[in-house]
Amino acid sequence: MRIGTGYDVHKLVEGRKLILGGVEVPHTLGLLGHSDADVLLHAIMDAILGAAGLGDIGKHFPDTDEAYRGISSMKLLEHVGALLADHGYVVGNIDATVIAQQPKLRPYISRMEENVASVLGISVDQVNIKATTEEHLGFTGREEGISSQAVCLLESFYESSVAVADSANRCSSCQGCSKEF
């Protein structure tokens, strides 16, 4: 079992869409960034990559690479999910918080959770997203930016497998070891 944390922040500006958790949220301002600047997905990806010991999103998707200019962070999350599978990990759960004074995010959270779960191939009940304000304090309270924090628990394929065994067939659901019971 492994745990990772993620944090991201982007500045609010005019002329950009506000994308959070792969959902376009109606607002007069959007987040500035090289990609779609989805601060929520960026924090989630950093938590996942950290738990797997695979660095961070800057390592995998540098903002100096034009291939990532304007890219949907949902596509980046899909790539991170594939990296997990390649390294033998599955998501146990994700818990994330978006910190924004405005807009109110409650109406969009279910879709955000569904998006994350769908792309990672996990159940919606393994993803929990919350939103909070900072009571008009700090840069988020002054509506200068939005930040997000995330925590992710990972398990290896072996840890997450459920084996039903008998003495003749070993673990019928596990291909990876030669344990006999």
39 labeled binding residue: no
79 labeled binding residue: no
Helix, strand, coil percent content, the chain, rounded in steps of 5: 35, 30, 40
Owner of token pair 């079992």: 1
Closest Cα to residue 45, out of 161, 154, 131? 154
133 labeled binding residue: yes
Closest Cα to residue 3, out of 50, 39, 43? 50
139 labeled binding residue: yes
155 labeled binding residue: no
26 labeled binding residue: no
95 labeled binding residue: no
57 labeled binding residue: yes
61 labeled binding residue: yes
142 labeled binding residue: yes
42 labeled binding residue: yes
Annotated binding site for a divalent metal cation: 8, 10, 42
Annotated binding site: 8-10, 34-35, 42, 56-58, 61-65, 132-135, 139, 142
